[in-house]
Amino acid sequence: MKKHHPGPVLFGIILSVAAFATATSIVPPLATEIAEKTGADSSLDFGKVYMLQFFCFAVASAVGGTIAHRYGLAERTLVLLGLLTVGATLVAGAYVPNVRWFVAWAVPLGFAGGIIETFGSIMVARMARRDSSKMLNFAHIAFALGAAVAPFGVSLLLAHEVTWTAAFTGFGVLILAASVAFVVSTRHFENVAHHADNPVNGTGDGSRNAPLLKDGLFVLLGIALFFYVFVEISTASWCPTYFQKHLGLSEASAAWRLSIFWAGTALGRALITMIPRRFTIWPALLTAASGILAVNVLLSFRAGPGAATVMIFASGLAAGPMWPVIVNCGQSLRQCARFTAGVIAAGGLGATFGPWLCSLVIERWGWGYLFPFLALCSAALCLAVLLARRRSARESQ
First to last CA, the chain: 39
Q: Which domain holds residue 87?
A: 7-396
Which pLDDT score, from 0 to 100, does residue 195 have? Answer: 41
Count of CB atoms situated within 10 Å of the CB of 379: 16
Which pLDDT score, from 0 to 100, does residue 40 have? Answer: 62
Residue 189: name the closest of 88, 76, 266, 92 by CA.
76
Residue 2 lies in a domain: no
Count of CB atoms situated within 10 Å of the CB of 74: 14
Residue 227 lies in a domain: yes
Residue 242 lies in a domain: yes
Residue 246 lies in a domain: yes
Asked whether the CA dihedral 92, 352, 325, 268 is positive or negative, the reply is positive
Which pLDDT score, from 0 to 100, does residue 197 have? Answer: 44
Rounded to an integer, what distance in angstroms lies between the CA atom of residue 389 and that of residue 52? 32
The CATH number of the domain holding residue 372 is: 1.20.1250.20
Rounded to an integer, what distance in angstroms lies between the CA atom of residue 130 and that of residue 126? 9
Count of CB atoms situated within 10 Å of the CB of 395: 11
Residue 1 lies in a domain: no
Count of CB atoms situated within 10 Å of the CB of 119: 31
Which pLDDT score, from 0 to 100, does residue 39 have? Answer: 65
Residue 238 near residue 374, CB atoms below 8 Å: no
Which pLDDT score, from 0 to 100, does residue 201 have? Answer: 39
Residue 205: name the closest of 365, 330, 347 by CA.
330
State which residues of the chain have pLDDT below 50. Answer: 1-2, 191-208
Residue 312 lies in a domain: yes
Total number of domains in the chain: 1
Which pLDDT score, from 0 to 100, does residue 198 have? Answer: 44
Residue 178 near residue 19, CB atoms below 8 Å: yes
Q: What is the pLDDT of residues 292-333, one digit of tens each?
A: 999 999 999 878 888 989 999 999 999 999 998 998 888 778
Q: What is the pLDDT of residues 40-65, one digit of tens each?
A: 655 566 667 778 888 888 888 888 76
